[in-house]
Amino acid sequence: MGIEGVMDWRAEAASALNWWRDAGVDVLVEDDPRDWTARPAPTAQPETPGRPVPSGPEPEAPLPATIEAFLDWRYGSGAPEAATGEPLAPAEGDHTAPLMVVTDLPEFDGAAPALLDGAAGKLFDRILAAIGQSRESIYLVSLCATRPITGQVPRDLDEKLGEILRHHIALAAPQRLLLLGQATSRAVLGTDADKNREGLTPFNYSGGKSDVVAIRHPRFLLNKPAAKADAWKDLQLLIGGQSL
């Protein structure tokens, strides 16, 4: 092979060395094996200073700020009771009525839960008539929108339902508020119904207040007729010579 063959070999070797150099080879031998054709690992991006790292559960969304939006949410799939799968009993009447009445739970004397139905509902209608009211003239709501099999407000929802009820009252802003039963009295006033006989109790909220009377629930009055006299005295505070 002559001089021309030697020059061809050297040209081929130089071409190969140039290829390896372009591929990133910069040493002949290393202690550890290395893949010269592998892509470089991505470098970690530095954290932005002063930016807090989120931790823990996200805060709950605030309750709707208008009565219309609140009612859509309260009796829809987002309500706390909706997760139980039990049917919801919505509020009844005009939310602008001057008298708002709050019961603890719907009754379940028929095919579906309803507010103050059955025997308790009939007694309630007589109570309304005695103070010059009817279901058409009031706004009727419940603390819990479902009727659990226990017949009581679920303890795990008690605090949340109380918060929702107080927000509901503030949005409706009634002149007077009639609370039926111990659960509703504790949710709004923080005390039992039979401990509020000193006169109308104010319930204050942002933008106003409502005068409150709390009495025993009609279910209780059916079982304890002697308690009706005390309930009537409390109702006298509600009408108090003023028209609603």
DSSP-assigned beta bridge partners for residue 210 = 203
DSSP assigned state of 136? G
Residue 103, CB half-sphere, CA atoms under 13 Å: how many?
27
What pLDDT is recorded for position 129?
Answer: 95
What pLDDT is recorded for position 243?
Answer: 46
What separation in angstroms does the CA of 68 have from each of 53, 74, 100? 36, 10, 16
What pLDDT is recorded for position 241?
Answer: 44
pTM score, whole prediction:
0.74
Question: What is the separation, in whole angstroms, between the first and last Cα of the chain?
Answer: 121
pLDDT digits (tens, 9 = 90+) for 91-117: 999 999 999 999 999 998 767 889 999
Where helices occur in the chain by DSSP H, the ranges are 3-22, 67-74, 118-130, 158-172, 182-189, 218-223, 228-239
What's the average model confidence in pLDDT over 29-49? 59
Six token digits for residue 76: 């829809």
Instruction: Give SS3 for 107.
Output: strand
Residue linked to tokens 């279910």: 219
Interatomic CA distance for residues 158 and 73, integer angstroms:
18
Quick check: 1 pLDDT over 60? no
Quick check: 79 pLDDT over 50? yes
